[in-house]
């Protein structure tokens, strides 16, 4: 079972976490066209790459970002949103 | 015990304790320390089992935890492997997969029809004619499979436990022991596991005839025992390697979930058989099995042996056999150059004939189907047998020492890669993932001293990896003498029955046929022939299968590759994996009260909730109806403690809620409630509840019981993304909640609270804080069930008390508790949908007819932009009320029954109630917008296929003016 580094309390088994999907920047709802908005809402990029993902540590209620290479399932680093 | 040897220096037997056991109905004796296989062999029992497909007789073959020739059942457990089943007093077992007992197995006749049962036979033969398939399947199921499951057998729940260490070392042979010691001496907490009953690995059998090697084992064990930070577990297998060194260990009692910092795999090699005619007869066995029999169990493998060798290990075996008093008739060496080691010199000195460049071409059986002769012949330059000059040697045992395959399962599961190394003619690791180390024969290191050095190297490397030591780690050692494995110990025979996979009775021709039919890839060949799919998972067959396919393809071994290794590496009882189930369950503080009041308790998500309260002499439907009627008529109390309860506080609290919910909250007055409807980014309804403003910067929010965890999580994320100054607390478990509802509810609580309950002071959709029955409470005037009511939230520690006080105070007014079924009925009468029940994963506020809950002129809310797009599109369905005639008879629709219009699906029932306080049946349904006008007649297809008439009705059904709840 994989370990994941919670930025607050350190490495914990993956079963304590929930994935929140890839970090996606919301386009400005006022400026984006219907197509642009639909693309943001519905489409996900599934390509093999180093991804920035939302993860939630359930017991401590902590959202954070994990940089993960989904080709090797290696976690590059984790940090709190906005801290870098 | 006619085949028992005199005491051997390293034997595992307790000769003072004799054990009586039964096999196939007959009583035998062995010693404590014997396995079933060794005890039977000691008693000169040579027919141990029947093979999977042809029901051929089988005997001891590998004796090292993957010998599937002897599999037994005891009426409770099945498919127990005899080579790892200790004999115990009272053990009473039978061989699996026989009809009428092992000796007279009626299915042994199948062996004669082998020629008509090539691989793929089932696929080709049994699909036509189609009408007979059921018959074929039935017959096939009777014949296929091994042990029978005894459904009535009960097995105690397997415990699971957890373990932690810095370094896990798998395999307590010379390399594993040396590695564990080196790591522990450098400060690591080491866990060393070995599948055998005692540590030592090959030192306990292969080298056990050598006094110096026995002394090495004694030294290693003594050093290991002196290290407090080195824990050893024998009879324990590492079954699976999972991410980040999470390893499943199991023994006969339990599964242990181990988290290690690093893993050192020293699992050694598995000896591989040669493939020749009748190579599966009882009496034909691996050299390692013979050595295990002699050195560990003090059993004579046979009286007169032929050793088939392709390495110096075979000559060591010949010496061991000779020392044990076995008449060694010949050593047949596949290599033309023979062997140049000390061992071969000693064999020659003992007067044992050595046939270099020869092969055993056939094993010849007697009527009792055990070996009586070995037919040998010289080999051509290309390695094929010269069948024109065979000769026969009388013997009752053929020992094969032709090569090894790495026991590589764990390393492969961990992501390690292997390459084929011709200097040892085996796969060795070429790439190991971080923190995974390999040592010993698995690493292609065979010399005993080299194995110990290689183990030490790997142990130091692990210590360096974990930051315990610095400096340079010794270089890995390389095998120097001739290859311990033969590149192709496989010989064709016109009569076939030269077995590659003993688990599945596959012989060489099966592979040739599969290849001819186009299965020329190792993974395809595996699936077509089923090689490696038997109980031993190819431990004795995969390597030869790769060699065969490589030759058929004219490709290298590396280009041929091998099949994927998956957990579990060894068979594990399903009971171990199932274990006991742990599932969190939540009870409200009033749970005991409900139970004593006769509540029918159901699981609602994690929660236990009263469905309804049983009354003697009343049916379930009666009870639910009467509970609902009492709400309408008098006053009733429901436990709503499972509701999600969230505090939202801070300067940005109102603005935050406007972002989360569709409605407006910045202009909400303190002391009031508003309906909160939340969507996800696509505009789909995900939550609803009430939002109470307690102060300028302080809100109290309720959410659905099942949705609150996810909703709270998303709120937390949005708070981060919006960068808002807001604090969120999920107080669901901290607070108890109950709803007192009914025309007399105010009467019940007016003397119990310091809150002014007068309608002028505390009107509908108001919220007040005060005390109820002495407990700090938040009171909310909600109208979910359509009557005057108060939702009372108190600390969980006071929930039971407040509930009891309300029940006592309500007796004068005929108060009753009501459960969630009555609540569902009451809200349906009021036309309230339940998120996730009446709505689904695509329902928008427009479809659910709650567009009124979308605030006007809002800057932003989650889902808002999507709703702007959806708003412009035509609706495809609308949630409406439906009514049935009061006199409805016959089948009644159920939830999810379809609405049919002109033969087409035009909607779906989402909620339905036959018996209501209104006097007629009602429901809610999604319908096509053209059917949504009140008064429209619709038809619902019920489960038996009939159509039932209903009519679309205006919501709510009950009290449309909402006068009763105000």
Residue B720 is nearest to which of A3, A13, A63, comparing CB atoms? Answer: A63
**B242 inside 8 A of chain A by CB:** yes
pLDDT per position as a tens digit, A5-18: 999 999 999 999 99
Residue B682 is nearest to which of A1, A42, A56, comparing CB atoms? Answer: A42
pLDDT per position as a tens digit, B654-698: 999 999 999 999 999 999 999 999 999 999 999 999 999 999 999
Q: What is the ipTM of this complex?
A: 0.97
Residue numbers in B near A1 (CB within 8 A): 242-244, 246, 257, 259
SS3 of residue B752 by DSSP: coil
Of residues B915, B848, B924, the one with CA closest to residue B883 = B924
Nearest-Cα distance to chain B for A65, in Å, is: 11
* Predicted pLDDT at B115: 65
Residue A1 is nearest to which of B243, B730, B864, comparing CB atoms? Answer: B243
Please name the residue of chain B whose CA is at the shortest distance from the CA of residue A58: B713
Q: Report CB contact under 8 Å: A20, B860.
A: no
DSSP symbols for B917-945 = TTSS-EEEEEE-GGG-STT-EEEEE-TTS
* Predicted pLDDT at B129: 75
Nearest-Cα distance to chain B for A49, in Å, is: 19
Q: Is the pLDDT of residue B157 over 80?
A: no
On whether the CB atoms of residues B822 and B628 are closer than 8 A, the answer is: yes
Give me Rg for the CA atoms of chain A: 15
pLDDT per position as a tens digit, B455-500: 999 999 999 999 999 888 888 889 999 999 999 999 999 998 999 9
Task: Assign B768 a pLDDT band (cuts: 50, 70, 90).
Answer: very high
The size of the A-B interface in CB pairs under 8 A is 48
Query: How many CB atoms are closer than 10 A to CB B469?
Result: 17
Residue numbers in A near B713 (CB within 8 A): 18, 56, 61, 63
* Predicted pLDDT at B116: 66
Residue numbers in B near A42 (CB within 8 A): 682
- DSSP class of residue B235? S
Residue B865 is nearest to which of A13, A37, A42, comparing CB atoms? Answer: A37
Interface of B with A in 830-869 (CB under 8 A): 860, 864-866, 869
Of residues B389, B394, B355, B392, the one with CA closest to residue B371 = B394
Q: Report CB contact under 8 Å: B720, A81.
A: yes
**In the numeric block, which tokens belong to residue B116?**
């008509």
pTM here?
0.85
Please list, in sequence order, all residues whose beta carbon lies within 8 angstroms of the beta carbon of residue B654, skipping any fewer than 6 positions away.
Answer: B665, B666, B668, B693, B696, B697, B699
pLDDT per position as a tens digit, B807-846: 999 999 999 999 999 999 999 999 999 999 999 999 999 9
Q: Report CB contact under 8 Å: A63, B860.
A: no
* Predicted pLDDT at B100: 82
Task: Assign B98 a pLDDT band (cuts: 50, 70, 90).
Answer: confident
Query: Where is pLDDT greater, at B530 or B119?
Result: B530
pLDDT cut 90: percent of chain B above it: 84
**In the numeric block, which tokens belong to residue B860?**
């932003």
On whether the CB atoms of residues B620 and B610 are closer than 8 A, the answer is: no
Q: Is the pLDDT of residue B520 over 70?
A: yes
Nearest-Cα distance to chain B for A3, in Å, is: 6
* Predicted pLDDT at B76: 85
pLDDT per position as a tens digit, B847-871: 999 999 999 889 999 999 999 999 9
Pairwise CA distance, residues B461 & B473, whole Å: 6
SS3 of residue B313 by DSSP: helix
Nearest-Cα distance to chain A for B260, in Å, is: 11
Over range B894-913, report the average pLDDT.
96
pLDDT per position as a tens digit, B622-644: 999 999 999 999 999 999 999 99
pLDDT per position as a tens digit, B404-434: 999 999 999 999 999 999 999 999 999 999 9
Distance between alpha carbon B639 and the CA centroid of its chain, in Å? 38
Residue numbers in A near B717 (CB within 8 A): 20, 54, 56, 63
Interface of A with B in 2-61 (CB under 8 A): 2-3, 13-14, 18, 20, 26, 29, 32, 34, 37-38, 41-42, 54, 56, 61
On whether the CB atoms of residues A9 and A61 are closer than 8 A, the answer is: no
Q: Is the pLDDT of residue B522 over 90?
A: yes
**B733 inside 8 A of chain A by CB:** no
**A1 inside 8 A of chain B by CB:** yes
Q: Is the pLDDT of residue B265 over 90?
A: yes
User: In degrees rounded to 5, what are phi and psi of residue B224?
Assistant: -65, -40
pLDDT per position as a tens digit, B441-450: 999 999 999 9
Residue B869 is nearest to which of A26, A37, A73, comparing CB atoms? Answer: A37
pLDDT per position as a tens digit, B9-65: 999 999 999 999 999 999 999 999 999 999 999 999 999 999 988 899 999 999 998
Q: Report CB contact under 8 Å: A13, B246.
A: yes
Q: Report CB contact under 8 Å: A38, B869.
A: yes
Query: How many CB atoms are closer than 10 A to CB B848?
Result: 21
Please name the residue of chain A whose CA is at the shortest distance from the CA of residue B245: A1
Please name the residue of chain B whose CA is at the shortest distance from the CA of residue A61: B713
Residue numbers in A near B869 (CB within 8 A): 34, 37-38
Please name the residue of chain A whose CA is at the shortest distance from the CA of residue B246: A1
**In the numeric block, which tokens belong to residue B955?**
């919501």
Preferred mutation among B567, B686, B721 to probe A, highest tally of A CBs within 10 A = B721
**B15 inside 8 A of chain A by CB:** no
Helix (H) or strand (E) holding B138: helix B133-143
Interface of A with B in 62-81 (CB under 8 A): 63, 73, 81
Distance between alpha carbon B34 and the CA centroid of its chain, in Å? 33
Residue B866 is nearest to which of A18, A41, A73, comparing CB atoms? Answer: A41
Q: Report CB contact under 8 Å: A73, B243.
A: yes
């Amino acid at each position: 079972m994989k370990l994941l580094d919670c930025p607050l309390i350190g490495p914990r088994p993956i079963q304590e976490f929930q994935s929140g999907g890839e970090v996606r920047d919301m386009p400005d709802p006022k400026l984006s066209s219907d197509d642009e908005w639909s693309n943001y809402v519905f489409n996900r990029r599934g390509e093999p790459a180093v991804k920035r993902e939302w993860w939630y540590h359930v017991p401590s209620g902590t959202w954070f970002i994990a940089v993960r290479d989904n080709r090797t399932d290696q976690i590059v680093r984790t940090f709190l949103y906005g801290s870098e | 015990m006619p085949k028992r040897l005199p005491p051997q220096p390293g034997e595992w037997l307790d000769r003072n304790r004799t054990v009586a056991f039964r096999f196939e109905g007959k009583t035998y004796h062995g010693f404590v320390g014997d396995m079933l296989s060794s005890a039977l062999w000691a008693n000169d029992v040579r027919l141990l089992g029947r093979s999977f497909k042809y029901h051929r007789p089988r005997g001891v073959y590998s004796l090292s935890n993957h010998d599937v020739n002897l599999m037994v059942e005891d009426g409770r457990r099945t498919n127990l492997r005899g080579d790892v089943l200790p004999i115990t007093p009272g053990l009473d077992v039978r061989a699996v997969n026989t009809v009428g007992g092992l000796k007279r197995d009626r299915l042994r006749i199948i062996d004669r029809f082998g020629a008509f049962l090539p691989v793929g036979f089932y696929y080709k033969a049994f699909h036509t004619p189609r009408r007979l398939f059921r018959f074929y399947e039935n017959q096939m199921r009777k014949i296929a499979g091994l042990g029978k499951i005894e459904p009535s057998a009960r097995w105690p729940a397997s415990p699971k436990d957890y373990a932690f260490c810095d370094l896990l070392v798998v395999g307590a042979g010379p390399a594993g022991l040396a590695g564990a010691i080196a790591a522990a001496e450098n400060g690591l907490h080491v866990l060393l596991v070995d599948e055998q009953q005692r540590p030592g690995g090959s030192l306990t059998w292969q080298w056990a005839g050598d006094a110096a090697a026995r002394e090495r084992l004694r030294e290693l064990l003594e050093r290991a025992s002196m290290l407090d930070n080195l824990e050893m577990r024998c009879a324990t297998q590492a079954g699976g390697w999972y991410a980040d060194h999470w390893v499943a260990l199991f023994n006969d009692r339990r599964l242990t979930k181990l988290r290690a910092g690093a893993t050192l795999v020293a699992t050694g090699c598995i000896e591989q058989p040669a493939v020749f005619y009748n190579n599966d007869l009882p009496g034909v066995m691996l050299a390692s099995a013979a050595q295990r029999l002699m050195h560990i169990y003090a059993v004579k493998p046979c009286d007169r042996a032929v050793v088939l060798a392709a390495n110096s290990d075979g000559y060591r075996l010949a010496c061991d056999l000779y020392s044990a008093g076995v008449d060694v008739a010949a050593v047949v060496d596949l290599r033309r150059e023979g062997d140049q080691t000390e061992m071969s010199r000693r064999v020659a000195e003992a007067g044992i004939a050595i046939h270099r460049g020869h092969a055993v071409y056939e094993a010849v059986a007697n009527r009792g189907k055990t070996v009586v002769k070995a037919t040998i012949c010289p080999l051509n330059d290309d390695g094929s047998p010269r069948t024109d000059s065979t000769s026969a040697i009388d013997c009752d045992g053929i020992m094969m020492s032709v090569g090894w395959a790495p026991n590589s399962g764990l390393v492969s599961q961990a992501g390690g890669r292997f390459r084929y190394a011709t200097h040892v003619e085996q796969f060795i690791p070429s790439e190991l993932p971080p923190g995974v180390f390999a040592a010993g024969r698995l690493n292609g290191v065979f010399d005993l001293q080299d194995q110990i050095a290689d183990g030490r190297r790997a142990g130091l490397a692990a210590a360096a990896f974990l930051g315990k030591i610095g400096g340079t780690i010794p270089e890995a050692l390389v095998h120097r003498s001739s290859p311990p494995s033969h590149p192709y110990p496989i010989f064709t025979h016109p009569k076939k029955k030269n077995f590659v996979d003993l688990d599945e009775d596959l012989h060489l021709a099966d592979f040739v046929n599969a290849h001819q039919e186009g299965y020329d890839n190792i993974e395809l060949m595996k699936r077509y022939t089923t090689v490696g799919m038997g109980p031993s998972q190819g431990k004795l067959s995969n390597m030869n299968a790769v060699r065969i396919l490589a030759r058929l393809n004219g490709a290298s071994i590396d280009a041929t590759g091998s099949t994927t290794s998956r957990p579990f590496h060894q068979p594990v009882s399903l009971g171990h994996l199932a274990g006991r189930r742990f599932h969190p369950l939540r009870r409200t503080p009033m749970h005991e009260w409900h139970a004593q009041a006769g509540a029918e308790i159901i699981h609602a998500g994690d929660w236990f909730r009263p469905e309804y309260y049983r009354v003697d002499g009343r049916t379930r439907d009666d009870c639910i109806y009467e509970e609902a009627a009492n709400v309408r008529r008098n006053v009733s109390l429901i436990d709503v403690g499972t509701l999600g309860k969230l505090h939202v506080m801070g300067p940005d609290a109102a603005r935050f809620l406007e972002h989360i919910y569709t409605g407006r909250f910045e202009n909400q007055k303190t002391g009031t409630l508003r309906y909160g409807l939340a969507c996800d980014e696509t505009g789909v309804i995900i939550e609803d509840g009430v939002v109470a403003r307690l102060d300028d910067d302080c809100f109290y929010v309720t959410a659905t019981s099942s949705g609150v965890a996810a909703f709270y999580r998303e709120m937390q994320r949005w708070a981060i993304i919006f960068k808002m100054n807001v604090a969120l607390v999920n107080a669901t478990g901290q607070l108890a909640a109950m709803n007192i509802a009914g025309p007399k509810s105010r009467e019940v609580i007016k003397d119990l609270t310091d809150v002014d309950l007068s309608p002028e002071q505390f009107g509908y959709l108001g919220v007040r804080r005060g005390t109820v029955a002495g407990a700090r409470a938040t009171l909310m005037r909600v109208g979910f069930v359509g009557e005057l009511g108060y939702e009372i939230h108190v600390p969980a520690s006071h929930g039971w008390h407040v509930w009891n006080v309300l029940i006592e105070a309500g007796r004068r007014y005929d108060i009753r508790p009501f459960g969630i079924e009555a609540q569902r009925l009451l809200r349906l009468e009021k036309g309230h949908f339940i998120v996730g029940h009446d709505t689904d994963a695509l329902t928008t506020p427009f479809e659910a007819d709650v567009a009124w809950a979308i605030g006007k002129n809002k800057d932003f809310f989650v889902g808002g932009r999507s709703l702007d797009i959806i708003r412009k599109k035509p609706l495809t369905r609308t949630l409406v009320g439906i009514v049935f005639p009061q006199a409805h008879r016959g089948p009644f629709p159920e939830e999810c029954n379809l609405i049919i219009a002109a033969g087409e699906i035009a909607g779906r029932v989402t909620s339905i109630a036959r018996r209501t306080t209104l006097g007629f049946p009602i429901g809610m349904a999604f319908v096509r917008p053209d059917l949504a006008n009140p008064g429209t007649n619709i038809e619902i297809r019920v489960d038996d296929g009939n159509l039932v008439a209903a009519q679309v009705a205006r919501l709510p059904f009950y009290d449309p003016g909402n006068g009763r709840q105000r």
